[in-house]
């Protein structure tokens, strides 16, 4: 039996890494990319191929750069599932942010989603099948002070998800997004223990979410019925 293939961007740690292990355990072959942490990605690959017996191709790729994404797709077959997980945060006043920093956040969080989909969608349409899952944030809906660029990029991702889902639904391709709340990942390690505690007191379940929980939700979405498309599914502990 031919195993389905999944591309996960930003897979060297955190949510992407957790998704890689969980999907490998479900029998998916994997393509994993990261920006700079290639040694970490090698460790992920070694564990996956040793413990789960599936194939795992790894790539250094700036998914915010279209030429690098095109080059990635020249090296792989178009996957059955794309998980657009790569992300970059910026915390600070808008007035202190440079144009270059703004563009970097947009490239990593939003333009990358267009780039991977632009390369994969024509073949998915030809096959009349495919699933695309974009990892979003509650800030894409609510907006966060001191995170204007990140919130804007995730709001754009949500709009992209809904529009592309409508465009591709006649071709039996499902496009959804998972909007996460505060997660226990490297992205939030810039917050102090006091700041994290204050935020957790606002979250009804009283804690951050874990990468493993996010991965389990990802699996549920990509295994969901084909009638589920165009949805922004929130998992935030009841926070927003």
Q: Cite the active site residues.
A: 150
231 and 166 Cβ atoms separated by less than 8 Å = no
Element (DSSP H or E) covering residue 51: helix 38-51
| Residue 119: C-alpha distances to residues 12, 63, 66, 127 (Å) | 22, 12, 10, 14
Residue 223 tokens read as 């295994």
Q: Is residue 174 within a helix (H) or strand (E), and if so which, with residue range?
A: strand 173-180
Work out the number of other CB atoms within 10 angstroms of the CB of residue 58: 22
């Amino acid at each position: 039996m031919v195993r389905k293939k999944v591309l996960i961007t930003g897979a060297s740690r955190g949510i992407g890494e957790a998704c890689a292990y969980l999907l490998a355990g479900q029998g998916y072959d994997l393509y994993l990319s990261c920006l700079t942490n290639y040694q970490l990605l090698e460790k992920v690959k070694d564990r996956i191929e040793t413990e789960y017996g599936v194939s795992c191709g790894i790539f250094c790729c700036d998914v915010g750069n279209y030429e690098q994404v095109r080059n990635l797709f020249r090296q792989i077959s178009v996957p059955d599932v794309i998980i657009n997980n790569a992300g970059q945060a910026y915390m600070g006043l808008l007035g202190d942010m440079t144009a270059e920093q703004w563009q970097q956040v947009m490239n990593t969080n939003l333009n990358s989603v267009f780039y991977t989909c632009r390369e994969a969608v024509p073949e998915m349409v030809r096959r009349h099948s495919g699933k695309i899952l974009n990892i979003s944030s509650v800030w894409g809906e609510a907006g966060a002070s001191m995170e204007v660029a990140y919130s804007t990029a995730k709001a754009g991702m949500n709009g992209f998800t809904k529009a592309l889902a409508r465009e591709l639904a006649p071709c039996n391709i499902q496009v959804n997004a998972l909007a996460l709340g505060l997660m226990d990942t490297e992205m939030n390690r810039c917050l102090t223990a006091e700041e994290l505690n204050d935020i957790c007191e606002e979250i009804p379940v009283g804690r951050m979410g874990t990468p493993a929980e996010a991965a389990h939700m990802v699996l549920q979405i990509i295994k969901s019925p084909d009638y589920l498309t165009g949805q922004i599914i929130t998992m935030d502990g009841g926070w927003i």
